[in-house]
């Protein structure tokens, strides 16, 4: 039996760029009304991502000033305050807007959080829910009906909420890098949401993932599918990777760390190797010796989010049980500050998930 939809709800609103004080928990946020072509989802779980933190901090810089306070989109900012963040939303449809079939009410859905803004596969004007419109750190969320997908799985709502942003980002990185069966891929930041996703997604493609991760996380990374783990910050990375692969070539580097590791990662790549990145948690500004790039015939790819086709592959992977959820912790919405503090400490493997109280 469907319960009445309240007028107000609990939500965490981002009220400006800055520290945790810019995240305000309130139980008096108006419940959104689905517009024509939209559905209203009662949220049951929402995964946390690095993008949440970087947008709050305004840490994306600009092309002219890397240290400038700026939001996620390089061209045409769509972030306004207050904004409810949260991309990896799972829940049940409880109402529909004009033009949406009433039979959709009651469906359990995983949200494709992308705002594509185009009809083709280009991501040049991509945006996302939680940035260009409100996301899932709330009890209710309105969104286009076409972005609410039923997934045929027996996974719990919390487990299903670990996939979307991290795995979609990872799948796009591998698609752009054309990772093929039998190739070796080196994954930095392998214990995080995207890194641990890439390990599984590489295995789903028949490739061989080698991980770089912090100390104490090696066993967990092996358990999710890494062929070998190189411990970050312990000596010569180039030599350690070469030893781990017994001198075999690294075809692709999927880098989520950046910073001082960057040049070593290009050294590690074989000639005509491919480097792909979707993050820079150790530092976004790096030095590049162009001679390494052109003399080794390297490809460098920047990647963010994913296409509709990438999302559909992700759904198939989930339904075929080729990838599995990695829940690093569960937090009530009212303890959002604690959740984000623990998230920034990075003392976990997989994803942290926020659930309504």
* 325: three-class secondary structure by DSSP: coil
**How, if at all, do strands 351-355 and 38-47 pair?**
antiparallel
How does 55-70 read in b/e, with b if 16+ C-beta sit within 10 Å?
bbebbbeeeeeeeeeb
Rg of the chain's alpha carbons, rounded to an integer?
20
Burial class (CB in 10 A: 0-12, 13-18, 19+), 28: exposed
* Structure confidence at residue 2 (pLDDT): 62
Q: Count of CB atoms within 10 A of residue 1's CB?
A: 2
* Structure confidence at residue 192 (pLDDT): 87
Taking only the tens of pLDDT, the chain with its 357 residues reads 567 899 999 999 999 999 999 999 999 999 999 999 999 999 999 999 999 999 999 999 988 898 899 988 888 899 999 999 999 999 999 999 999 999 999 999 999 999 999 988 888 899 999 999 999 999 999 999 999 999 999 999 999 999 999 999 999 999 999 999 999 999 999 988 899 999 999 999 999 999 999 888 899 999 999 999 999 878 799 999 999 999 999 999 999 999 999 999 999 999 999 999 998 888 889 999 999 999 999 999 999 899 999 999 999 999 999 999 999 999 999 999 999 999 999 888 889 999 999
Residue with tokens 């590489």: 202
SS percent in the chain: helix, strand, coil, step 5: 30, 30, 45
* 38: three-class secondary structure by DSSP: strand
Q: Read out DSSP for 121-145? A: S--TT-EEBTTTB--SSBSEEEEEG
**How, if at all, do strands 8-14 and 114-115 pair?**
unpaired
pLDDT digits (tens, 9 = 90+) for 209-226: 999 998 888 999 999 999
How does 185-197 read in b/e, with b if 16+ C-beta sit within 10 Å?
bbbbbbbbbbbbb
Instruction: Return all residues near 265 (Cβ < 8 A) that are at least 6 apart.
Output: 186, 188, 253, 255, 275
* Structure confidence at residue 76 (pLDDT): 86
Helix (H) or strand (E) holding 88: strand 88-96
Burial class (CB in 10 A: 0-12, 13-18, 19+), 4: exposed
Torsional class of 308: left (φ above 0), alpha (ψ -120 to 50), beta (otherwise): alpha
Query: What is the DSSP secondary structure assignment for residue 139, as one 8-state letter?
Result: S
CA separation for the pair 88, 254 (Å, rounded) = 22
**How, if at all, do strands 140-144 and 208-213 pair?**
unpaired
Query: What is the DSSP secondary structure assignment for residue 112, as one 8-state letter?
Result: -
**Token duo for residue 80:** 């306004």
**How, if at all, do strands 148-149 and 8-14 pair?**
unpaired
Q: Where are the alpha helices (DSSP H) in 130-245?
A: 157-160, 164-177, 193-204, 218-223, 237-244
pTM for this predicted structure: 0.92
| φ and ψ at residue 198, rounded to 5 degrees | -60, -40
pLDDT digits (tens, 9 = 90+) for 315-346: 999 999 999 999 999 999 999 999 999 999 98
* 199: three-class secondary structure by DSSP: helix
Q: Is the peptide bond before 82 cis (omega within 30 degrees of 0)?
A: yes
């Amino acid at each position: 039996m469907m319960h009445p939809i309240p007028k107000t709800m609990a939500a965490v609103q981002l009220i400006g760029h800055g520290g945790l004080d810019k995240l305000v928990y309130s139980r008096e946020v108006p419940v959104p009304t689905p517009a024509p072509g939209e559905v209203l989802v009662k949220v049951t779980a929402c995964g946390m991502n690095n993008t949440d933190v970087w947008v709050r901090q305004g840490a994306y810089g600009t092309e002219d000033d890397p240290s400038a306070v700026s939001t996620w989109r390089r061209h045409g900012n769509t972030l306004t305050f207050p904004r409810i963040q949260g991309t990896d939303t799972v829940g049940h449809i409880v109402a529909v807007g004009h033009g949406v079939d009433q039979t959709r009410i009651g469906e359990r859905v995983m949200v494709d959080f992308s705002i594509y803004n185009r009809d083709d596969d280009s991501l040049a004007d991509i945006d996302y829910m939680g940035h260009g419109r409100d996301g899932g750190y709330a009890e209710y969320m309105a969104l286009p009906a076409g972005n609410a997908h039923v997934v045929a799985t027996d996974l719990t709502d919390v487990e299903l909420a670990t996939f979307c942003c991290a795995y979609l980002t990872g799948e796009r990185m591998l698609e752009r890098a054309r990772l093929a069966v039998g190739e070796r891929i080196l994954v930095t930041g392998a214990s995080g949401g995207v890194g641990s996703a890439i390990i599984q997604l590489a295995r789903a493609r028949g490739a061989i993932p080698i991980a770089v991760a912090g100390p104490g996380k090696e066993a967990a990374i092996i358990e999710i599918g890494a062929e070998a783990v190189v411990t970050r910050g312990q000596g010569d990375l180039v030599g350690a990777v070469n030893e781990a692969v017994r001198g075999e070539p690294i075809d692709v580097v999927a880098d989520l760390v950046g910073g001082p590791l960057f040049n070593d990662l290009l050294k590690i790549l074989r000639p005509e190797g491919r480097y792909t990145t979707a993050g820079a948690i150790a530092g976004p500004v790096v030095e590049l010796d162009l001679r390494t790039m052109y003399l080794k015939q390297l490809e460098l790819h920047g990647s963010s989010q994913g296409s509709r086709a990438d999302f559909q592959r992700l759904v198939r992977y989930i339904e075929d049980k080729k990838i599995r959820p990695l829940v690093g912790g569960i937090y009530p919405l009212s303890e959002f500050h604690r959740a984000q503090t623990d998230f920034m400490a990075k003392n976990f493997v997989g994803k942290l998930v926020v659930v309504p109280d």
